[in-house]
Amino acid sequence: MLTRRAFTGALAGSLAAAEPPRIAVIALPAGAPVPPAIAATAVVFTRAYFACPDPALAPAVLLSGRYPHGKGPALFQPAPDPAAPVAIFIGAARQDSPSESACRVALAIRHPKLAAGRVFDFPISTVDIAPTLLTLVGVEPPDNLPGRDLSALLAAGEGARPESIYSEGGLASPGEWRMMVRGLDKIVVRRNLDVLHLYNLGEDPYELEDLSREIGFRLKVDELKALVRIWMRRTSDGMDPSGLRRRKS
């Protein structure tokens, strides 16, 4: 006779052994926009960013929904099927750099619950893709993911639009950096929060004018650095939830 405890244990074991769902991931040429034929069948994001643009790390970030500093298992299996009803179309990472040319990525998502042909202009990160797609396919994502589940916003317009994204790169190197974009403001800092660059992407989309040393932008720099600290706490990037620095192991 199968007892309730034995049944519960067997169920837990079967769920733990279950393979991650398969979702089509279609690579787009690096630097190229989403092709019109794909855009007509999917939703397109005009302000998508790599959470880490390092070509060696970007694929694992996409599959795990976690930044490289918080490694985790893959939450779905990629399947190269461009005709699949559920698919991610995403550009290839090219360079480990905080520049817009490296961090911005072409992105489109196809799902029957999403109205094809729509275009979203809010900032979205590659760590947001896993929790969003898992919810759309009926799989509950882990509750400790740093990315945002945007499924309700995309499908029904419910919930707040993301205002900022956070990215990291140059990991374990002297040039390790963090980058945050909020609205049209972009700040790049070192891991210790020393400011490297500040740009206004609306007036300077090619990042030619660094505003970080301009007297008139000191308050802006302080404001954005405070938001970077919030991102660091939220993502456990060298800080615990209280905001204290974690000791290096």
- pLDDT interval class at 6 (50, 70, 90): very low
pLDDT of the residue at 8: 38
pLDDT of the residue at 19: 81
pLDDT of the residue at 241: 56
- Average of pLDDT values for 214-241? 92
- pLDDT interval class at 2 (50, 70, 90): very low
77-106 per-position pLDDT tens digit: 999 898 999 999 999 999 999 999 999 999
- pLDDT interval class at 204 (50, 70, 90): very high
- Average of pLDDT values for 193-209? 97
How much is the mean pLDDT over the chain? 90
| pLDDT more than 90, % of the chain | 84
- pLDDT interval class at 12 (50, 70, 90): very low
pLDDT of the residue at 238: 85
* Stretch(es) of the chain classified as CATH 3.30.1120.10: 164-234
pTM of the model: 0.88
- Average of pLDDT values for 214-230? 97
CATH 3.30.70.2740 fits 164-234, yes or no: no
pLDDT of the residue at 71: 86
Closest of 11, 13, 55, 10 to residue 30, by C-alpha? 55
C-alpha angle 165-58-142 in degrees, rounded to nearest 5? 70
- 248 has pLDDT over 70: no
30-83 per-position pLDDT tens digit: 889 999 999 999 999 999 999 999 999 999 999 999 999 998 999 999 998 989
Which residue type sits at 85?
P
